[in-house]
Amino acid sequence: MANLVDDLLERPFSLRSLEEKMEVKRLGRPTPDLNITQKATGGEKRSEYTRKFNRKVYKNIWVCGCEIRNALFCFPCLLFGNSDAWCKGGVKNLGHLNALVKKHDENEKHMHNVLDLSFLGCVNLSPLLSHTCHDEKVKHNKQVEKNRYQLSKIIDSIKFNVAFELSLRGHDFIHTSENPGAIKGLIDLMSSIDNAVKVHMEDDQIFRDTSKSLKDELLDCMLEVCHDVITEEMNRSEYVAVMIDETTDSEKRQLALVFRYEKNGMPCERFWGLFDPVGQKADAITTILDLIQSTFKAAPHKIIALTYDGASVISGIQAKVRVLYPNVHYIHCYGHRLNLSVERAASQIQSARVFFLDLLGFKTFFSGPAERISTFQSVVVRRFPHATATAWNFQSRTMNVVNEFKPSLLECLSTLEKTSCSSTCNDSVELRRSLEDREFLFWLGFFYKVMPHVDRLQRLLQKRSVDAVKVNLAVLSFIQTINIIRSSIGKTDPLVTAAATPDCCKRRKLACEHTNAKEVCDRIVRDIKDRFLKLDHLEASKLMDFSKFDEYSCLFPLRELNITAQAYTMLEQRRLKTELSVLYQRSDFRNIEGAVPLLQFILTSSIQDTFPEITKLLRILVTTPMMTAEPERCFTSVDRIKTFLRNTIPHQGLSALAMLAVEKNLVANIEGFNSKVIDKFCSRKQRVDLVFRH
pLDDT digits (tens, 9 = 90+) for 533-544: 666 667 788 888
What is the domain range of residue 62?
A: 4-123
Mean pLDDT of 296-304: 72
Residue 182 is assigned to a structural domain of this protein:
yes
69 plus 102 within the same structural domain: yes
Range 122-133 average pLDDT:
58
> Which of 600, 623, 646 lies at the terminal end of a domain, its last residue?
623
Residue 173 has pLDDT above 60, yes or no: no
In a domain, 637, yes or no: no
Task: Report, as an integer, the average pLDDT of 456-468.
Answer: 77
Find the mean pLDDT for residues 455-467: 78
Q: Which residue has the higher pLDDT, 247 or 451?
A: 451
The Cα–Cα gap between 16 and 19 comes to 8
Residues 144 and 282 in one domain: yes
For 392-421, what is each residue's pLDDT tens digit? 455 777 888 888 888 888 888 888 877 767
Residue 119 lies in a domain: yes
**Would you say residue 175 has pLDDT above 70?**
no
Averaged pLDDT for residues 30-59: 83
Please compute the mean of the pLDDT values over residues 233-239 and round it to a whole number: 88
pLDDT of residue 182: 67
Instruction: Please say if the pLDDT value at position 603 is more than 80.
Output: yes
User: Are the C-beta atoms of residues 454 and 338 closer than 8 Å to each other?
Assistant: yes
pLDDT of 152 higher than 90:
no
Are the CB atoms for 638 and 646 separated by under 8 Å? no
Average pLDDT on 110-116 reads 90
Mean pLDDT of 1-12: 78
Write out the E strands in 289-328: 303-308
Whose CA is closest to 623, among 239, 265, 297? 239
What are the residues whose beta carbons fall under 8 Å from the beta carbon of 623, sequence distance 6 or more?
A: 237, 239, 240, 241, 260, 261, 262, 267, 304, 305
CB count within 10 Å of CB 312 equals: 8
Tell me, yes or no, whether 434 and 572 share the same domain. Answer: no
Average of per-residue pLDDT across 154-167: 77
**pLDDT at residue 617 in the model:** 92
Q: Do 6 and 68 contact (CB within 8 A), yes or no?
A: yes
Give residue-wise pLDDT tens across range 573-596: 999 999 999 999 988 888 888 888
Residue 256, beta-bridge partner list: 245, 274
How does residue 572 score in pLDDT terms, banded at 50, 70 and 90? very high
Strand pairing class (252-263; 240-249): antiparallel
Q: Mean pLDDT check: name the lowest of 125-134, 322-331, 419-428.
A: 125-134
The total number of structural domains that make up the chain = 4
pLDDT tops 90 at residue 225: yes
| Domain end position, chosen among 478, 503, 532 | 532
Residue type, 154: I
pLDDT, mean of residues 547-563 = 90
- Sign of the torsion formed by the C-alpha atoms of 306, 654, 682 and 673: negative
More confident residue, 440 or 689: 440
329 and 279 share one domain: yes
What average pLDDT score do residues 520-532 get? 85
Q: Best-predicted range by mean pLDDT among 207-221, 548-562, 615-629?
A: 548-562
Between CA 473 and CA 451 the distance in angstroms is 19
Higher-pLDDT residue of 280, 66: 66
Q: Say yes or no: 36 and 63 in one domain.
A: yes
- Residue 146 Cα to chain centre, angstroms: 36
Averaged pLDDT score across all residues of the chain: 78
Q: In this predicted model, which residue has the larger pLDDT, 96 or 168?
A: 96
334: nearest Cα among 457, 465, 245: 457
- Based on the fold, state whether residues 203 and 255 are members of the same structural domain: yes
> Do 159 and 245 share a domain, yes or no?
yes
pLDDT of residue 205: 52
Residue at 631 is within a domain = no
In a domain, residue 100? The reply is: yes
CA distance 260 to 464: 9
Q: Does residue 363 sit in the same domain as residue 415?
A: yes
Rounded to the nearest 5°, which phi and psi values hold at 285? -65, -40
Pick from 291, 288, 343, 295: nearest CA to 317: 288
Confirm if 233 and 261 have CB atoms less than 8 A apart: yes
Q: In whole angstroms, what is the distance from residue 278 CA to residue 56 CA?
A: 52
Considering the domain architecture, whether residues 145 and 103 belong to the same structural domain is answered as no
pLDDT band at 492 (very low <50, low <70, confident <90, very high): low
Mean pLDDT value across residues 323-345: 77
For strand 47-52 and strand 37-42, is the pairing parallel, antiparallel, or unpaired?
Answer: antiparallel
What amino acid is encoded at 141 in this protein?
N
Nearest to 285 by CA among 304, 248, 313: 313
> Which of 95-99, 366-370, 652-656 tops mean pLDDT?
95-99
10, 141: one domain: no
Asked if residue 160 belongs to a domain, the reply is yes
pLDDT mean over 654-670: 84
pLDDT digits (tens, 9 = 90+) for 246-297: 765 555 667 788 888 999 888 888 888 887 766 656 666 667 777 776 666 6
Residue 282's pLDDT is 62
Same domain, 427 and 548: no
Residues paired with 307 in a beta bridge: 243, 331
CA distances to 295, 426, 685 from 137, rounded to whole Å, are: 39, 84, 21
Q: What is the per-residue pLDDT for 424?
A: 81
Are 432 and 472 in the same domain? yes
Could you tell me if residue 628 is inside a domain? no
**Does 442 or 293 have the greater pLDDT score?**
442
Percent of the chain surpassing pLDDT 70: 76
Of 577, 603, 623, the last residue of a domain is: 623
Tell me if 650 is assigned to some domain: no
pTM over 0.75: no
